């Protein structure tokens, strides 16, 4: 399970919000990779997750991304604990 803290004003970077014009959220990118990259090597998935996190302006650690990539590769459930800071 991963952990991330983000400002309340940036929740749309993480979760899909059709009312915000941010573009693809990290949630959307992760879900897409979970479908398209199941069974693929973790080393191929990590750079794609890193690019998605960078586009979404989210500061996942390398270890977080590897853990997420392992879940995608194996089809395992992945839980992310989100702390929302301030308003």
Q: For 23-47, what is each residue's pLDDT tens digit? A: 668 888 999 999 999 999 999 999 9
pLDDT, mean of residues 54-66: 90
The whole-number pLDDT of residue 1 equals: 67
pLDDT above 90: percentage of residues in the chain:
49
Q: For residue 2, what are the β-bridge partners?
A: 80
Task: Count other C-beta atoms under 10 Å from residue 4's C-beta.
Answer: 17
Reply yes or no on whether the pLDDT at 22 is more than 60: no
User: Residue 21: which pLDDT band, with cuts at 50, 70 and 90?
Assistant: low
Q: Look up the pTM and report it.
A: 0.84
Reply yes or no on whether the pLDDT at 13 is more than 90: no
Rg of the chain over CA atoms, in angstroms? 13
Q: How far apart are CA 68 and CA 72, in angstroms?
A: 6
* 5-to-9, 10, 61, 81, 85 alpha-carbon distances in Å: 12, 10, 12, 8, 7
């Amino acid at each position: 399970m991963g952990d991330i803290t983000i400002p309340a004003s940036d929740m749309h970077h993480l979760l899909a919000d059709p009312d915000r014009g941010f573009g693809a959220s990290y949630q959307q990118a992760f879900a897409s990779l979970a479908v398209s990259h199941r069974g693929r090597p973790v080393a191929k998935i990590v750079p794609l997750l890193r690019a998605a996190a960078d586009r979404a302006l989210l500061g996942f650690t390398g270890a977080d991304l590897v853990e997420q990539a392992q879940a995608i590769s194996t089809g395992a459930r992945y839980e992310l604990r989100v702390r929302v800071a301030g308003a």
